C-alpha cells in the first residue's frame, strides 16, 4: 500500500470553492494509486466563524481569563469542524471518508496545555480506515494526554500532526498544500524578485522558518528529517511542482551559491541588561535563568562585560518587563528593530559571506546594530523601517533572483 499524507491549511478550506480544489488534489492522489491520509487546520482567520482566534475571542469576551485546559479544549474545535466539513465534501463526490480527532488518530501527548509534546502515536484507526478504502481526515494541531485531556501542539501544530502521522503509518512522503506555490527565496510581498526553490534541505527550511519564513513549522521538518520522509510544499490553487524538501537540498544551482534564501522576524523586542557593577557578568547571566524558569525563549544573545543583550518575541514583552522590574534589573529596551537573516547550507566554511552582507547593507546605508551566526545562518539587527531595503539588498547581492 502506497501511503502518503496530505495537509491542508485553513486558507485552503474556508470556502466551498476552495474545498472543491482540495477534493481534486485528493482524488488525483487516489487515481495515481496512493492512499492519502489527510490532515486539516481550522478554517479561516480571526473574524471568520470557525477560526481558532474567533472561538477564543467568543470565550474571552465573556471573561478574559481562560484556563489553559479549557482553552485547549476550545482551540481543538476548529480543526474538528474542518475535518467533518471536508469529509462531507468528499462524500458528496462519492469518496468514502471518516473524520478523526487527534485523540482518535492516536496522538498521545504530555499535559503541557498550549504547547504539548507528542510522546507516542498509535495510528490504529488511521491504518484501518486506509485498509477499508476510506480517507481518514485528521484534525491537526491536537492530541490527547494519557489522562484523557485534550491538548494542543502550539504554533504550526497541524504541520507537526502531518509529520508524526506520516512517520507512524510509514508514508512515502508528505504534501503540504498552502496558499503559496512553494518555499521561496524571500517573502514575495517584500522582495519582488523572490522565486520558488525547487529543492531545499530540511536544515535550510528549518532555519528559514526559525528566522521568519512562514511555510512550514520547523518542528514538522525536523521530525520528517529524522524519519527520512520527503516533504512537498505545493499551492492548493495552482498547478506546479512546488518545493521538495529532502536531505540534500539544492546543490546544482549556479556556482553552488552559499545562500538559499533570506528571511526576517519583525515581532521582536531587543533588551539590554546593564550590570550592577562594571564587568560583572553575574547580573546578566542571572536573567537567563529567570527567563528559562518562566518558559520564555530568548535569541540573539550577546554577553559582554559592560552589558548582556538578547531578543524576545513581542508577545512576551509584558511578562519579561514584569520580571525585570520585580528583580530590580537595570535595562534598556528597543522595539524598533527587525532581525534579517541569510540562510544556506553552502555557507559553512565559505569565506566572504559576512563581507558581502556588510557590503550590501552599507551600500543602502543600513546600520547593523548586532550580528550572530551559525553554520547555516547569519543574522543582523537593523531598523524596522529598513527591513524591505535590507532584504532586497541581500537577495540581490547573493543573486537569489537567478
Give the Cα separation of 162 and 167 in Å (integer): 9
Give the Cα separation of 351 and 357 in Å (integer): 12
**Per-position pLDDT tens, the chain of length 402:** 999 999 999 889 989 999 999 999 999 999 999 999 999 999 877 777 778 888 889 999 999 899 999 999 999 999 999 999 999 999 999 999 999 999 999 999 999 999 999 999 999 999 999 999 999 999 999 999 999 999 999 888 999 999 999 999 999 999 999 988 899 999 999 999 999 999 999 989 988 988 888 788 889 999 999 999 999 999 999 888 899 999 876 544 444 678 999 999 999 999 999 887 665 666 667 888 899 988 898 999 988 877 889 999 998 999 999 999 998 888 999 999 999 999 998 787 778 899 999 999 999 999 999 999 888 899 999 999 999 999 999 999 999 988
Give the Cα separation of 303 and 102 in Å (integer): 43
Check if CATH label 3.30.70.260 holds for domain 261-265+337-397.
yes
Check if CATH label 3.30.70 holds for domain 271-333.
yes
DSSP 8-class letter at 10: G
Give the Cα separation of 380 and 297 in Å (integer): 19
| Closest to 175 (Cα-Cα) out of 129, 127, 224 | 224
Give the Cα separation of 261 and 197 in Å (integer): 9
Give the Cα separation of 32 and 20 in Å (integer): 19
Do the bridges between strand 243-246 and strand 199-201 make them parallel or antiparallel, or are there none, so unpaired? parallel
Q: pTM to 2 decimals? A: 0.88
Is the alpha carbon torsion for 395, 396, 401, 402 positive or negative? negative
Give the Cα separation of 313 and 315 in Å (integer): 5
* All three cell numbers of 128: 484501518
Fold identical between 3-179 and 271-333?
no
DSSP 8-class letter at 3: E
What separation in angstroms does the CA of 91 have from each of 10, 78, 87, 160, 235?
Answer: 20, 20, 6, 27, 23
DSSP 8-class letter at 13: T
The domain limits of the chain are 3-179, 261-265+337-397, 271-333
pLDDT at residue 286 in the model: 84
For 301-347, the DSSP string reads EEEETTEEEEEEEGGGHHHHHHHHHHTT-EEEEE-SEEEEEEE-GGG
CA end-to-end span of the chain: 40
Q: Which architecture, in CATH terms, is 3-179?
A: 3-Layer(aba) Sandwich (3.40)
Tell me the three state secondary structure of residue 243.
Answer: strand
For 105-158, the DSSP string reads TTEEE-S-TTSPPEEEE--HHHHHHHHTT-EEEEE-SEEEETTS-EEE--TTHH
Amino acid at each position: 500500500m502506497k501511503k502518503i499524507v496530505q495537509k491542508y491549511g485553513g486558507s485552503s478550506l474556508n470556502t466551498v470553492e476552495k474545498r472543491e480544489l482540495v477534493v481534486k488534489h485528493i482524488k488525483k492522489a487516489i487515481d495515481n494509486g496512493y492512499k492519502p491520509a489527510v490532515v486539516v487546520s481550522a478554517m479561516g482567520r480571526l473574524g471568520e466563524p470557525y477560526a481558532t482566534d474567533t472561538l477564543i475571542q467568543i470565550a474571552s469576551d465573556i471573561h478574559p481569563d481562560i484556563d489553559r485546559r479549557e482553552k485547549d479544549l476550545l482551540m481543538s474545535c476548529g480543526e474538528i469542524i474542518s475535518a467533518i466539513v471536508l469529509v462531507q465534501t468528499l462524500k458528496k463526490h462519492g469518496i468514502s471518508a471518516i473524520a478523526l480527532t487527534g485523540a482518535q488518530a492516536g496522538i498521545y501527548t504530555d499535559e503541557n496545555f498550549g504547547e504539548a509534546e507528542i510522546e507516542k502515536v498509535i495510528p490504529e484507526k488511521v491504518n484501518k480506515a486506509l485498509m477499508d478504502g476510506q480517507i481518514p481526515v485528521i484534525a491537526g494541531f491536537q492530541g490527547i494526554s494519557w489522562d484523557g485531556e485534550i491538548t494542543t501542539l502550539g504554533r504550526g501544530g497541524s504541520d507537526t500532526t502531518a509529520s508524526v502521522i506520516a512517520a507512524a503509518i510509514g508514508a512515502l512522503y508528505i504534501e503540504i498544500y498552502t496558499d503559496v506555490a512553494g518555499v521561496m527565496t524571500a517573502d514575495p510581498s517584500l522582495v519582488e524578485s523572490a522565486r520558488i526553490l525547487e529543492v531545499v534541505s530540511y536544515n535550510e527550511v528549518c532555519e528559514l522558518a526559525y528566522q521568519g519564513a512562514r511555510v512550514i513549522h520547523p518542528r514538522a521538518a525536523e521530525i520528517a528529517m529524522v524519519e527520512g520522509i520527503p516533504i512537498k510544499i505545493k499551492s492548493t490553487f495552482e498547478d506546479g511542482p512546488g518545493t521538495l524538501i529532502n536531505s540534500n537540498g539544492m546543490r546544482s544551482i549556479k556556482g553552488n551559491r552559499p545562500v538559499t534564501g533570506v528571511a526576517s522576524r519583525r515581532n521582536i523586542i531587543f533588551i539590554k541588561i546593564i550590570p550592577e557593577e562594571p564587568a560583572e557578568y553575574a547580573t546578566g547571566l542571572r536573567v537567563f535563568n529567570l527567563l528559562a524558569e518562566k518558559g520564555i525563549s530568548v535569541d540573539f544573545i550577546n554577553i559582554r562585560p559592560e552589558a548582556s543583550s538578547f531578543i524576545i518575541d513581542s508577545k512576551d514583552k509584558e511578562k519579561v518587563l514584569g520580571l525585570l522590574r520585580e528583580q530590580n534589573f537595570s535595562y534598556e529596551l528597543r522595539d524598533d528593530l527587525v532581525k534579517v537573516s541569510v540562510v544556506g547550507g553552502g555557507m559553512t566554511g565559505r569565506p566572504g559571506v559576512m563581507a558581502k552582507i556588510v557590503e550590501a547593507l552599507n551600500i543602502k546605508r543600513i546600520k547593523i546594530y548586532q550580528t550572530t551566526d551559525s553554520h547555516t545562518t547569519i543574522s543582523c539587527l537593523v531598523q524596522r523601517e529598513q527591513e524591505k531595503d535590507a532584504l532586497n539588498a541581500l537577495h540581490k547581492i547573493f543573486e537569489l533572483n537567478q
